[in-house]
Amino acid sequence: MPDEQMATSGGRPPARSLDDIDRSILRMLQADGRASIRSVAERVHVSRANAYARINRLIDDGVIRGFSARIDQERAGHGASAYITLKIVQNSWRTVREKLQELPGAAHIALVSGDFDVLLLVHTRDNRALRELVLTRIQAMDEVLSTRTLLVFEETDLAEGH
């Protein structure tokens, strides 16, 4: 495999193509990560051994990165959520990503194109904690040129029930 192909896939060989059964398994596991192999097999009409092998292949290929619980942030004590956009110093993405991953309440980080460079989703106890996070932690990073905070008033998890 050419080096550039390996580099773009994180050092792993590219994932094999997915068929309709694989996509059905992924949809089912997104809706319920605790679904049993038996229930997955029954819903997609394959044997338990086939379902088990397919799920393991999806994990080995990096298509499934892990299993987690979807949290109701407000009920979990996080009364404030926000998307924070950041403009950063050119070529500082890896450093900024490492620093952002350490922030309490950081839920999602993306390098994006457009008017800003990074999109960060955070969940905090309240607006005061959000303010402190933005002003004393994020804006204090040497690589961060500017931020903009977008408060989340309401959100819907699209993975539920699909």
Q: Confirm whether pTM is higher than 0.85.
A: no
Q: What CA–CA distance (Å, rounded) separates 29 from 66?
A: 10
Is residue 15 assigned to a domain? no
Contact of 89 with 83, CB cutoff 8 Å: no
Query: Is 89 in the same domain as 147?
Result: yes
Q: List Cα–Cα distances, 158 to 70, 107, 135, 161, 162, in angstroms.
A: 11, 16, 31, 8, 7
Q: Based on the structure, what is the number of domains in the chain?
A: 2
DSSP E strands, the chain = 80-88, 106-111, 118-124, 144-151
Is residue 33 assigned to a domain? yes
Is residue 6 assigned to a domain? no
pLDDT digits (tens, 9 = 90+) for 54-108: 999 999 999 998 887 777 777 777 789 999 999 999 999 999 999 999 999 999 9
Query: Is 79 in the same domain as 147?
Result: yes
Binned at pLDDT 50, 70 and 90, residue 155 comes out as confident
Q: What CA–CA distance (Å, rounded) separates 64 from 62?
A: 5
Query: Is 148 in the same domain as 85?
Result: yes
pLDDT digits (tens, 9 = 90+) for 109-147: 999 999 999 999 999 999 999 999 999 999 999 999 999
Is residue 69 assigned to a domain? no
Beta bridge partners of 118: 86, 111
Query: Is 27 in the same domain as 95?
Result: no
Binned at pLDDT 50, 70 and 90, residue 157 comes out as confident
pLDDT digits (tens, 9 = 90+) for 41-54: 999 999 999 999 99
Contact of 125 with 54, CB cutoff 8 Å: no
Report the CATH number that the domain containing residue 144 is assigned in CATH.
3.30.70.920
Determine the pLDDT at residue 128: 95
Is residue 133 assigned to a domain? yes
Determine the pLDDT at residue 2: 47
Report the CATH number that the domain containing residue 50 is assigned in CATH.
1.10.10.10
Query: Is 83 in the same domain as 147?
Result: yes
Query: Is 103 in the same domain as 45?
Result: no
Query: Is 134 in the same domain as 106?
Result: yes
Torsion of CA 98, 102, 105, 107, to 10 degrees: 30
Domain of 110 in residue numbering reads as 74-152
Is residue 10 assigned to a domain? no
Is residue 159 assigned to a domain? no
Tokens 């499934």 -> residue: 64
Query: Is 44 in the same domain as 92?
Result: no
Is residue 90 assigned to a domain? yes
Determine the pLDDT at residue 12: 66
